[in-house]
Amino acid sequence: METIGFVGLGNMGRPMARRLAQAGHAVRGFDASPEARERAALDGVAVAGGAAEAAADAGVLILMLPTSSIVRAVLLDDGALDALPPDAIVIDMSSSEPLETRALAERAAPRGVTLIDAPVSGGVRGAEAGTLTIMAGGPAERVEAVRPLLEAMGKRVVHAGDVGAGHALKAINNLLSATHLLASSEALRIGRAFGLEAERMLEAINGSSGRSWSTEHKLPDFVLPGTFASGFGLGLMVKDMGIACALGEQLGATPALGAQALALWEQASAALPSDADHTEIARWVDAGEGGAA
């Protein structure tokens, strides 16, 4: 049985690795956190002592890490790329920078290793349920070769284009998602100030043209109950928004609204705790921050 290496066993990576193990794959994983490694061991994942050990002789290496710089460090500095056999496939499922992804793919190619990008949307719930949307970038035949693995973790796999296309699409998606959530939070604040009940507003909006994933799920599931427990950090959302806006600027397609939304999210990030969930942007809006009062 071909071994699948998996580096990054946090909120998203752990349930994704677990689903692969439950599907009958031999998964050997690593995370910098000892606690994460212990939890993964309970899920049927063989725990490695480092990234290179997780990658050793693996036909596929999956990465679910916070940033492009950490992806680069794992592959190049920690020796994961050198540990892979020729013809292996690296699947970077992190929310990485598209141009950096292309550069890493070029570094991998001389070794006979193909790097494809396959970031996800759907959050921790989607990872646990196996209902993620996966946006893949890379050579079509290599994406097809790992499609069964991707389908064990998600219900929708979209081949977005060449390497880097998945990461570009994910950043664009999160720019939209973040803008929706900010606008929806501001709209609820206006309605409350008028005397409307949030639940009644969402009931009407979700049957009307103003609905979005934020009004249908994020606000009722995490904001109104006050749990703010989506499992996706506010800092990570700001990072993804920044990737999308920077990409637009580099391509001569600067997003005016996106840039304004990013500036407000950055203000919220500076005001809220460093470990704040991204849905806490609504709490920041309700407090009247950022000139919203």
The model's confidence at residue 148, banded by pLDDT at 50, 70 and 90, is very high
Per-residue model confidence (pLDDT) at position 275: 96
The predicted pLDDT at position 288 comes to 87
Average pLDDT over residues 223-246: 96
Mean pLDDT to the nearest integer, 26-47: 96
What is the rounded CA–CA span in Å between residue 227 and residue 218? 11
The single-letter DSSP state of residue 13 is H
Query: Does the pLDDT of residue 258 top 80, yes or no?
Result: yes
User: What is the rounded CA–CA span in Å between residue 160 and residue 163?
Assistant: 9
Whether 146 has a pLDDT exceeding 50, the answer reads yes
d(CA 268, CA 290): 8
In the predicted structure, residue 276 carries a pLDDT above the cut 70: yes
Q: Is the pTM of the predicted complex or chain greater than 0.85?
A: yes
Domain layout of the chain by residue ranges: 3-161, 168-286
CATH architecture of the domain formed by 168-286: Orthogonal Bundle (1.10)
Show the tokens assigned to 32: 């910098």
Distance CA 246, CA 172 (A): 11
Answer yes or no: 170 catalytic: yes
- The CATH number given to 3-161 is 3.40.50.720
150-180 pLDDT per residue, tens: 999 999 999 999 999 999 999 999 999 999 9
Q: Is the fold of 3-161 the same as that of 168-286?
A: no
Among 42, 78, 74, 57, CA closest to 5: 57
